[in-house]
Structure 1
Amino acid sequence: MSTTKESIGFIGVGLMGQGMARNLLDKGFPLTVMGHRNRKPVEELVTAGATEARTPKELASQATIIFLCVTGSPQVEAVLNGPDGIVAGARPGTIVVDCSTSDPGSTIRLAAELEAKGLHLCDAPLGGTPAQAVQGQLSTMIGADDAVFARIKPACEAWAQKVVHLGPVGDGHKMKLLNNFLSMGYGAIYSEALALAQKIGITPQTFNSVLSGSRMDCGFYQTFMKYVLERDRDAHKFTLVNALKDVRYLEGVANAAGVPNPIGNAVKNAYASAVANGRGDDYVPMLSDWIAQQSGVSLAPKG
């Protein structure tokens, strides 16, 4: 069996992508990267041995598997089909792996378009935090046919400790939206509970003394409360504007399926109100401050 590693392209070396790309490099994969606004991650990866491409077309000409870690479906479509896009430079058989949280309908349509051109698109959205990306301890839920999955699995295992093949293209993004509905839903519920608690004389510290270690505790609760209790902005680096995008995509999936999602709508509106008031770049645990402010209380430790 050949041990030759596939040549990897990576577009989007931001909060999650930089750690993922570094793990691919460290595990011996030839790597070409393309950045967006922030030069620092690109320069650090080039120093570590990566090559930089200026356009998706140029990157595609040097890679057999291309990972995308961008904001969502509009960005994926632009990177694929723009004038200097991946499709213009990719060789037949190239696999594009969308690690973004995207709209499954768009993913399935783009996969069919690429297949007609001799290329493959699959979805491998992420579970975990930027810190876990650095450690190679993310999880990924993959929608791909068996042959494509077999090719991408070794590269995914370079940055993920849990790699699950769910089914055909689109299933990864469907599952990711369900996952993010749960996590963003928890964020909205924690925020509302903390605001009410503070209003009736139960401090966040007292609240946490009961919840921490109980059946209601979980990893998401821990990172959320690390911000609430310690004011650690970086405890969970996922922006409110991205959270809103994801719950809006879920709403679209529910609409297309003809399924009511009233709780999903309530969750969406919690994030939408914060984003509409200029808080889009805040991270998810900071939703608690906005919800508390609406009730005339503050969760920040006194003094």
Structure 2
Amino acid sequence: MAAPSNRSTGKRNVSKERIGFIGVGLMGHGMAKNIVEKGWPLTVMGHRNREPVEDLKRRGAEEARTPKELAERSDIVLLCVTGAPQVQAVLTGPDGLAAAGRPLLVIDCSTSDPSVTTRLAEELAPKGITLIDAPLGRTPVDAEAGQLDVMVGGPDEVVERARPVLEAFSGRIIRTGPVGTGHTMKLLNNFLSMGYAALYAEALALGGKVGLTPQVFDSVIQGGRMDCGFYQTFRRYVIEGDRNAHKFTLRNGLKDVSYLAALANSVGLANPVGAAVRNSYALAVGTGHGDDYVPMLTDVVAKQNGIG
């Protein structure tokens, strides 16, 4: 194999660049699996859950102990961590990616605060690190299948370099504009999805109060104008009891709508619906349900209303 390019910008090399991946959790494992199985040299960082790491090593990946060590073995690094504090720690911590002192292209696939993303991109550029944002749409099932939606913010030439890697695990790649716009679009997308869940949960609770079963509710919504892909995974828990149908925690939902609230505040936008949606998730997390998945918001709302 030809030697990989160490450039952080410019046209992509025809050879396979060395890929680092930090965050091989629910979404990250499927993404990393597709990367290594499609021929990219892959190094992953240790994760508290050893199972996905060991699985990726069996498929040909190597493991690094720290972000710095991973950076030393990589040309492009993908991040799929919880949020802005974790992204910043991985990039600028004592053993962070920047501590390796070498050029890198970093693709942040986390759902993060756009203002932090743009600040980090500016701070890291003089160190030879190019940061772009590429948050994700769809579910861990789609990650395993290589069919995620990716919203990419960054300069054209950098996005073109990143594109072959993104194509390894995506079905759609949507350009959003400059750095930070991918994370902004992701917050809007998650506001809609978390809002749908809050609406469904309250509608089901109200229906239950007046004697309409979830099955009746579902028979009207499914196949009608209010049906959508999100509802299809949501209903699989409510109607079929599939706890793993939509593996996105209420705690993460609260994080994302809190980022949205901060964004709205920063531009002086009144967002009363966003505030109401955030309160639904704050209630769920505050009553001990943060690690439950989003469709289980129905149980929290029902319990608060004396149903079930």
Task: Please indicate, yes or no, whether the TM-score normalized by the shorter chain is above 0.5.
Answer: yes
* Cα pair distance change 1:213/1:90, threshold 3 Å: farther
Matched with 1:301 is: none
Of 30, 41, 44, the match for 1:19: 30
Of 66, 73, 92, the match for 2:84: 73
CA distance in 1, matches of 2:228, 2:303: 26
Aligned partner of residue 44 in structure 2, secondary structure: strand
CA distance in 2, matches of 1:133, 1:259: 34
Amino acid at match of 1:296: G
How far does the alpha carbon of each residue in 1:137-184 deviate from its partner, in whole angstroms, 9 at most, with x for none?
001000011111011000000000101111100000000000000000
4+ residue runs over 3 A deviation: none
Amino acid at match of 2:241: R
Aligned partner of residue 142 in structure 1, secondary structure: strand
TM-score, normalisation: structure 1: 0.97
Deviation of 1:285 (Å) = 0.1
Q: Is the 8 A contact 2:106 2:132 kept in 1?
A: yes
How far does the alpha carbon of each residue in 1:231-283 deviate from its partner, in whole angstroms, 9 at most, with x for none?
11100000000000000000000000100000000000000001001100000
Aligned partner of residue 132 in structure 2, secondary structure: strand
Residue 191 (structure 2) pairs with residue 181 (structure 1): yes
Aligned length: 297
Amino acid at match of 1:54: R
Deviation of 1:294 (Å) = 1.1
Matched with 1:171 is: 181
Amino acid at match of 1:103: D
CA distance in 2, matches of 1:131, 1:29: 21
CA distance in 1, matches of 2:23, 2:87: 10
Of 237, 251, 257, the match for 1:241: 251
Unaligned runs of 5+ in 1: 299-303
TM-score, normalisation: structure 2: 0.95
Aligned partner of residue 296 in structure 2, secondary structure: helix
Aligned partner of residue 186 in structure 2, secondary structure: helix
CA distance in 2, matches of 1:232, 1:161: 25
Amino acid at match of 1:203: T
Overall identity of the aligned pairs, in % = 63
CA distance in 2, matches of 1:131, 1:2: 31
Residue 95 (structure 2) pairs with residue 84 (structure 1): yes
Unaligned runs of 5+ in 2: 1-11
Q: Is the 8 A contact 2:19 2:76 kept in 1?
A: yes
Matched with 1:40 is: 51
CA distance in 2, matches of 1:293, 1:83: 45
Deviation of 1:2 (Å) = 5.1
Amino acid at match of 1:79: V
- 1:152-231 paired onto structure 2 within 5 Å: 152-231=162-241
How far does the alpha carbon of each residue in 1:105-158 deviate from its partner, in whole angstroms, 9 at most, with x for none?
000000001112111000000001000000000010000111110110000000
Q: Is the 8 A contact 2:101 2:127 kept in 1?
A: no
Matched with 1:108 is: 118
Aligned partner of residue 89 in structure 2, secondary structure: helix
Coordinate RMSD, CA, aligned: 0.9
Matched with 2:6 is: none
Aligned partner of residue 107 in structure 2, secondary structure: strand
CA distance in 2, matches of 1:287, 1:237: 13
CA distance in 2, matches of 1:164, 1:209: 34
